[in-house]
Amino acid sequence: MSRKIMIILLLLFAITVSVSGCTTKEAPKGTFGEKTISLENITIVDNVTAEHHEYNGTNYYYVKGYLKNNNRYDAFNLKMKATTFDAEGNVVAVNDTVYLNPKVIPAGGEAFFGFSFIDQDNRIVRYELELISADAGI
C-alpha cells in the first residue's frame, strides 16, 4: 500500500513541476532572467562642453561630458554618436567612436565621454548627441 502512495505522490509532484513552469528556460517574451538596460535611464549630464583647439597646426573640435547610468545593472558596450553642424545647419561630420572612461558604466555611476573632430576651417558651431545602444552584460 505504501508503494502505491509513493508512486502517486511522485506522479503528482512531477505533474505539478511540469505545469508550474519551473522547467521553462525562457519566458513568453524572451525575458526570463534576462538583465535589460533602458537607454532612457542613461542620461547625458548637463555639463557637456564643446570647444575648438589648435594643436600642431590642426584645428580640432572636442565634445566632452559625463553619462549617468540610472539602471539597476552595469552598462556594457555603450554606443553613442555625435553629429556636428555648421552655421547653416549642414552636417559637417559624424563620429560614432566615443571615448568612454570607464568603458563599463556601473549601475548608479557615471562615466566620462568624449568625441573629437578635425575642423580645419572652424566650421562647426553646434552638435547633437545620441545614445544608440547599451548591454547589461551576461
Query: What pTM, to 2 d.p., does this model score?
Result: 0.73
Same domain, 62 and 105: yes
Same domain, 26 and 47: no
User: Is the per-residue pLDDT at 127 higher than 50?
Assistant: yes
Same domain, 13 and 40: no
Number of domains in the chain: 2
CATH code for the domain of 62 = 2.60.40.10
Spatial distance between the Cα atoms of 1 and 62, rounded to a whole number of angstroms: 83
Mean pLDDT value across residues 45-53: 93
Backbone angles phi, psi at 15, to 5 degrees: -65, -40
- Each residue of 20-36: pLDDT tens digit? 655 544 444 445 557 88
Q: Which residue range forms the structural domain that includes residue 11?
A: 1-33
